[in-house]
Structure 1
């Protein structure tokens, strides 16, 4: 606990420093350290980023609703897509002002102390941060971001250029990471295991290769060929999942913290119905039994209800998310082994590799079931069902639906993959305000219009109207 207080103080001191050299001389805080420690910075930056990824604003109150993993049982405006230009500020502000700034400082320290492993880890995590931003908003500041001494109003890069740049950044991160090199501290994901960080960096390269595959299949294949020719490995079992395992209060999982004081959310009827139809043994993991006994035991809430409709269904006869996800120490998954296997299956189905798509698809299902403690006997039974069999003629449906199930709780990633693969096919409530559409992007924070107005206008002119319904570059019909 003492370390959590120290690293929060150090990161706050660092990030509140003035961006101007003259102000730096005046604004010296005598209580702040002049030599930030990379281990404390790394611990803090990981937690801040993961909290933003897994927390209320970007997960529970938006992307989990868009993916129809969760639904709202009260204050249902967000489930009806009623948002303002202040609704999506948290991901932007946290990742730019805290995460990316912090990772840049760690990269600098790694260079100055001749410890490339700090650089490689920070570059990997910075790439993940930029990926979250571009997946959500589209065109974003990238090449000029985090360079306040040079660019007070950074330009927005096109999404294609961001993806291409991140592929190069992750390649550089992979090269910098050396298991035989200097040790690092403060790593609360892999505890300093550099081999696992290399695997994570390569797994992110695969994720991005598939992001661009509909638009740039040749580039996607080139990336996968490079990984193969270098003899690099991906995340290779459930013990290598990239995740932050939380502690007890006040450092608990953001979902647990939310449910400590509020009761706004239920599991969506859409995914409960799908799990019932597949006899899926993950149902009692993903959902809690209704407080008042019901014949079904697990009852999902339809998305997009009005407040009165939700109130009529009631709190006691609809299911909260499962206790696995409500526990204080529940892990916030960043990249699972199941996702990696589904990615490899898709790459094979697209002809980008020569692997066996059907076999990898089954391995992906198995890995997800094992991740949530399902027994081998139950797994074998599940895989024999005709409804679970791989359909080579429509790989996007097979992989998309099973990946959507496996990504439960990872709202931003599940939403992005559904947009990309177009499965599962979801239907918006008649109560929503987008004429039957489900949001396909976050709108930019209103502060961008006032603080970075010209860059914002240029981005809108290039990408399209700043609306929830404007498709992003990667999201091909």
Structure 2
């Protein structure tokens, strides 16, 4: 317990340090205590840091991907919904959190190699695998980033994304070959409790994710590594990597979910996007009635997340606590009584409540607060559903990823994306509707493009609440087809951002390397229309 307490203190120092300067971000935190430090603790904290995605994924990425929508204009939600200047205010969180996680994994590996490489043989490989995962999120968000130099380097160079991807794939292949279940068990693993068979499938599933990002930038490399994963990826949704939270200490609360209760008034202006809800509705998707709710009547109840809401139902008459209505999604790019008032939106369903207690958004569907807004809501890290959908694409492209057809992989992914929700919360159970839906919505194989559209649009839904992955795959695949908003005064000329700009501190603390990286962007880091290397 003393070690755990010490490590939690260490983690708090690391987290705070990431916001104060480049030197502190790259400081090696374990050197003074490595004699007493157990590298398992570093792996544990790295998994917590990586899996507990910053709440800015809700503010920026979820509205960009038109899964959520918000009428807010002066808060962080306007960043993704309206491409506002808020995009440049908190853009560092993905960089800082990612570097912290990657640093912890690197330290776990280094410490394990120093203390006892035989005892910690599997821990070393798990740390390498997880570092790749952390670094992929950073490079996908920003492009060229510090990657290859030793952890703790004061002024690291920015590696080319093409080189980063080549090394990540090689590292995963090497690490997968060195996992050995006859070696010592990993004690600090939050995902699989050290189960090396599951970790092997995790590694190849991650390899597939990394490889598929290159379908346009380097299709030969993409195919080569995708084919290396043949018959080695997740077997079913019980292989899902899930980070669970106990809701006690801050680092054991889901950041995204916890943020909603932390600012309930702001959350009162958040709803499911019309784009997202219309897709579910138009396909008679059973998730439509499981993930949505309607706030109780009036503004007071709208802003009180402890107030029971109405569930939507198709049953007549509606049972207690339910309402017999079809959920309505809110369009992105509107405000309340501003330059583009929500009341002017096509099909506006009207307010609930009256007078000073009127709730302008009351008739729009919002996320199920009893599930998604809870600090103990688990987080998917990587799933069988995502993997099967990527295998469906690889197979549709004619790649040798196994005997299973593209159509069957697609059905597996679609089914698992729904059934997996039960792993997060029992209220998300759909029963026999899942198989019925999957059976009546087969993959359209009339053309490759039709297949790619269906597969990657379902990936958009399957990656719910892992919005860095949603955004990356959207940029890579071009699906779903989204119509950008063009809110007056937006900072992207009415286009969905293709990357985030580097943290402001980089220009001061690592100026030479930062400037070199920005020069490869044409000299303008604030142009969010610039594309990362693989985004062709």
Fold equivalence (TM over 0.5): yes
Task: Give the corresponding residue for 2:493.
Answer: 435
| Residue 377 to residue 85, structure 1, CA distance change in 2 (3 Å) | closer
Shift of 1:384: 4.2
Deviation at 1:124, TM superposition (A): 1.0
Could you tell me which runs of 5 or more consecutive residues in structure 1 were left unpaired when the two chains were aligned.
Answer: none
Q: Deviations over 1:212-270 (max 9, x none)?
A: 12121211222133344xxx621211111112011124422223311222132322121
Say yes or no: does 1:305 pair with 2:334: yes
Unaligned runs of 5+ in 2: 298-309, 311-322, 344-350, 352-358, 423-428
**Residue number in structure 2 paired with 1:316:** 362
Once the two structures are superposed, residues 49-105 of structure 1 have per-residue CA deviations (whole angstroms, 9 ceiling, x without a partner) of 222x2x312x11111111111122433531211135442111111222x21221111
Distance 1:455 1:19 in 2: 14
Most deviating of 131-140 and 153-162? 153-162
Contact 2:389 2:459 in 1 (8 A): yes
Contact 2:486 2:495 in 1 (8 A): no
Q: CA deviation at 1:375?
A: 4.5
In structure 1, C-alpha distance between the alignment counterparts of 2:4 and 2:325, rounded to whole Å: 43
Distance 2:41 2:204 in 1: 25
Distance in 2 between residues matched to 1:379 and 1:48, nearest whole Å: 33
Question: Structure 1 residues 463, 19: closer, same or farther in 2, change over 3 A?
Answer: closer
Match of 1:153 among 136, 155, 163: 155
3-state SS of paired residue (1:165) = helix
Partners of 2:225 and 2:443 in 1: CA distance: 29
> Scaled by the length of structure 1, what TM-score is found?
0.88
Q: 2:480 aligns with which of 414, 417, 424?
A: 424
CA distance, structure 1, for counterparts of residue 31 and residue 283 of structure 2: 61
Q: For each residue in 1:4-51, what CA deviation from the matched residue of structure 2 results, as whole angstroms up to 9, or x when unmatched?
A: 64431244568979989xx99xx997xx67532112222211112222
Q: TM-score, normalised by structure 2?
A: 0.79
Q: Secondary structure at 2:496's aligned position in 1?
A: coil
Q: Does structure 2 conserve the Cα–Cα contact (< 8 Å) formed by 1:7 and 1:43?
A: no
CA shift at 1:376, angstroms? 5.3
2:93 maps to what in 1? 90
Aligned equivalents of 2:528, 2:8: Cα separation in 1 = 34
> Aligned equivalents of 1:14 and 1:328: distance in 2?
22
Q: Is the 8 A contact 1:11 1:41 kept in 2?
A: no
Q: Does 1:352 align with 2:399?
A: yes
Q: 2:263 is matched with which residue?
A: 262
Q: Tell me whether 67-76 or 433-442 shows the greater mean CA deviation.
A: 67-76
> For residues 22-421 of structure 1, what are the structure 2 equivalents within 5 Å?
34-51=35-52, 53=53, 55-57=54-56, 59-74=57-72, 75=75, 76-78=77-79, 79-82=81-84, 83=86, 85-96=88-99, 98-112=100-114, 113-114=116-117, 115-144=120-149, 146-148=151-153, 152-228=154-230, 233-250=232-249, 251-263=252-264, 264=267, 265-292=270-297, 296=325, 298-308=327-337, 309=341, 314-322=360-368, 323-353=370-400, 355=403, 356-373=405-422, 374-375=429-430, 377-385=432-440, 389-393=443-447, 394=449, 395-421=451-477
**How far off its partner does 1:377 sit?**
2.7
- CA–CA separation in structure 2 for the residues paired with 1:35 and 1:102: 16
Query: Residues 285 and 409 from structure 1, CA distance in 2 versus in 1: closer, same or farther, beyond 3 angstroms?
Result: farther
Report the CA distance shift for 1:304/1:249 in structure 2 as closer, same or farther (over 3 A).
farther
Q: RMSD of aligned C-alpha atoms?
A: 2.8
Specify the SS of the correspondent of 1:288.
Answer: strand
For residues 277 and 185 of structure 1, do their structure 2 counterparts lie closer, same or farther at Cα, with a shift above 3 Å needed? same
SS at match of 2:520: helix
Q: Secondary structure at the match of 1:282?
A: helix
Is the CA contact (8 Å cut-off) linking 1:345 and 1:357 kept in structure 2?
yes
* 1:272-303 alpha-carbon deviations (Å, 9 max, x no partner): 11111111111233322343377635232221
For 2:246 and 2:444, how far apart are their aligned partners in 1?
39
Count matched residues.
459
Deviation string 1:86-137 (CA, Å, 9 cap, x unpaired) is 42111111222x2122111110122221221111111111000100001111
Cα distance in 2 for partners of 1:201, 1:392 equals 33
How much does 1:163 deviate?
0.8
* Larger mean Cα displacement after TM superposition, 313-322 or 365-374: 313-322
Per-residue deviation at 1:307? 4.5
Distance in structure 2 (CA, Å) of the matches to 1:201 and 1:241? 12
Q: CA offsets per residue over residues 124-178 of structure 1, 9 Å max, x none?
A: 1100010000111111111126242xxx221111111111110111122212321
Partner Cα separation in structure 2 for residue 130 and residue 314 of structure 1:
42
What is the rounded CA distance, in whole Å, between the counterparts of 1:102 and 1:164 in structure 2? 22
> Which structure: greater helix fraction?
1
Structure 1, residues 323-362: CA drift from partner, whole Å, max 9, x if none? 3322332211111110010011111111222541111111
Q: Is the 8 A contact 1:110 1:117 kept in 2?
A: no
- 1:390 Cα deviation from its structure 2 partner: 2.6
Deviations 1:446-474 (A, max 9, x none): 11111111211211222343221111211
Q: Judging changes above 3 Å, is the alpha-carbon distance between structure 1 residues 145 and 109 closer, same or farther for their aligned structure 2 residues?
A: closer
Looking at structure 2, the residues matched to 444 and 157 of structure 1 have their Cα atoms a distance apart, in angstroms, of 14
Offset of 1:413 from its aligned partner? Answer: 0.5
